[in-house]
């Protein structure tokens, strides 16, 4: 599948002046990093740099140190990492733990060695306990047991957050961590097995609209999730970079959620047609509810601008075109 809205492998932005601060977006070819890159490009006034994973393996400590030392960025956004849906997370815990720990440790230590002024580390809402009170406040971290399906990924992300907090306490760095809710948007991974719920469902509905076969979704449909368009995430992160400077992570979400059943209805409406849906209850439901408390972010003056229905339609239009172009 092509990804027309992704920056090139060995990326740097054009039209820059010598005075523009350098921003390194680690993971710029992923869903999140790509959106952050576009948001910085739209804003202007920065010299963007990055490398594709084929050119710089962030699990390689020496290569990572060398790149950060040579580039000497003022700001580093850590949006690189191994990500996947509920099934990928529970099937490959070693990869999710090992890759994400290595990437965070190498990059944070390299940023310290190169005296990087501002680091924004991205975690995930799955770092909070499975039964955290809703909406989930940032203070819930480490107050209870994690959801078993993505425990390895969550532990890796918690280690990164503590590492950032450690650099603040031990070395006085004003680095921060942000915890996005479930994300979606153009350029996502639409794999029906390894993908996150929204793109995975979208690919299933799209295939069913062509084949006439029933759509097979996972679990009971009753868990509730909050979904944020990745362009809204990127705009929120620019606000966080500009205005937030505290050791506690800051949640990034919309403040409202839907059931997986309701999500399926919205995706079905976007795809069109009267499609039959079956629920495979042998697949895990995961956490019953995962709604973030976004009070801290709202206090910075940021609110989302893309409604879920609108974002689903826009993402589906992109996907449909992408599938057609690549097939």
Instruction: Indicate which residues carry an active-site annotation.
Output: 153
Using CB under 6 A, count the residues that bind ligand GFB. Answer: 25
Residue 283 touching ligand GFB (CB under 6 A) = yes
CB 234 within 8 A of CB 300: no
CB 9 within 8 A of CB 52: yes
Phi-psi region of 248 (alpha: psi -120 to 50; beta: other; left: phi over 0): beta
Please select the residue that binds ligand GFB; options are 50, 64, 100, 124, rule is CB under 6 A: 124
Q: Which stretch binds ligand GFB (CB under 6 A): 161-169, 240-248, 267-275, 282-290?
A: 282-290
Residue 153 touching ligand GFB (CB under 6 A) = yes
Restricted to residues 70-89, the positions that interact with ligand GFB (CB under 6 A) are 85-86, 89
- How many other C-beta atoms can be found within 10 angstroms of the C-beta atom of residue 43? 11
Q: How many helices (H) and strands (E) does the chain have?
A: 10, 13
Residue 123 touching ligand GFB (CB under 6 A) = no
Q: What minimum distance in Å lies between the beta carbon of 70 and ligand GFB?
A: 33
Residue 185 touching ligand GFB (CB under 6 A) = no
Please select the residue that binds ligand GFB; options are 140, 150, 235, 268, rule is CB under 6 A: 150
CB 258 within 8 A of CB 308: yes
Nearer to ligand GFB, 280 or 299 (CB): 280
Q: Which residue has the tokens 């310290």?
A: 112
Stated as kind and residue range, the H or E segment containing 319 is helix 308-326
Report CA-CA distances (Å) from 25 to 40, 78, 128, 164.
Answer: 10, 7, 25, 17
Please select the residue that binds ligand GFB; options are 36, 104, 217, 306, rule is CB under 6 A: 217
Restricted to residues 222-281, the positions that interact with ligand GFB (CB under 6 A) are 223, 225, 260
DSSP H helices, 9-150, are 31-43, 61-71, 86-91, 93-113
Please select the residue that binds ligand GFB; options are 196, 206, 224, 229, rule is CB under 6 A: 196
Phi-psi region of 183 (alpha: psi -120 to 50; beta: other; left: phi over 0): beta
Q: Which stretch binds ligand GFB (CB under 6 A): 44-52, 74-82, 148-156, 160-168?
A: 148-156
Q: Which stretch binds ligand GFB (CB under 6 A): 72-80, 100-108, 124-132, 161-169?
A: 124-132
> What dihedral angle (degrees, nearest 10) is formed by the CA atoms of 293, 297, 302, 303?
-10
Residue 184 touching ligand GFB (CB under 6 A) = no
Q: What minimum distance in Å lies between the beta carbon of 262 and ligand GFB?
A: 12
Restricted to residues 15-74, the positions that interact with ligand GFB (CB under 6 A) are none
CB 295 within 8 A of CB 234: no
- Interacting residues with ligand GFB (CB under 6 A): 85-86, 89, 124-126, 149-150, 153, 182, 196-197, 200-201, 204, 217-219, 223, 225, 260, 283-286
């Amino acid at each position: 599948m092509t990804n027309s809205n992704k920056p090139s492998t060995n990326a740097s932005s054009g039209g820059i002046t010598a005075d523009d601060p350098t921003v390194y977006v680690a993971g710029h070819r992923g869903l999140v990093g790509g959106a952050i890159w576009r948001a910085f490009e739209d804003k202007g006034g920065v010299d963007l740099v990055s490398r594709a994973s084929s050119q710089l393996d962030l699990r390689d400590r020496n290569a990572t140190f060398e790149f950060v030392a040579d580039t000497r960025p003022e700001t580093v956004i850590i949006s690189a990492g191994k990500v996947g849906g509920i099934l990928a997370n529970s099937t490959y815990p070693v990869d999710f733990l090992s890759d994400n720990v290595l990437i965070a440790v190498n990059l944070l230590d390299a940023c310290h060695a190169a005296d990087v002024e501002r680091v924004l580390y991205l975690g995930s809402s799955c770092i909070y306990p499975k039964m955290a009170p809703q909406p989930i406040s940032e203070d819930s971290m480490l107050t209870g047991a994690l959801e078993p399906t993505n425990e390895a990924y969550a532990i890796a992300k918690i280690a990164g957050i503590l590492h950032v907090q450690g650099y603040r306490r031990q070395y006085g760095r004003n680095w921060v961590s942000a915890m996005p809710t479930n994300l979606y948007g153009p350029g996502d991974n639409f794999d029906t097995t390894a993908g996150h719920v929204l793109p995975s469902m979208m690919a299933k509905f799209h295939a069913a609209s062509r084949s006439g076969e029933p759509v097979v979704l996972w679990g009971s449909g009753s868990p509730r999730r909050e979904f944020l368009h990745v362009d809204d995430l990127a705009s929120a992160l620019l606000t966080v970079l500009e205005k937030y400077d505290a050791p506690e992570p800051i949640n990034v979400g919309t403040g409202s959620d839907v059931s997986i059943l309701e999500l399926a209805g919205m995706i079905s409406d976007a795809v069109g047609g009267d499609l039959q849906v079956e629920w495979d209850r042998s697949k895990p439901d995961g956490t019953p509810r995962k709604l973030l408390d976004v009070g801290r972010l709202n206090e910075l003056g940021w609110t989302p601008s893309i409604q879920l229905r609108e974002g689903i339609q826009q993402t589906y239009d992109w996907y449909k075109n992408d599938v057609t172009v690549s097939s």
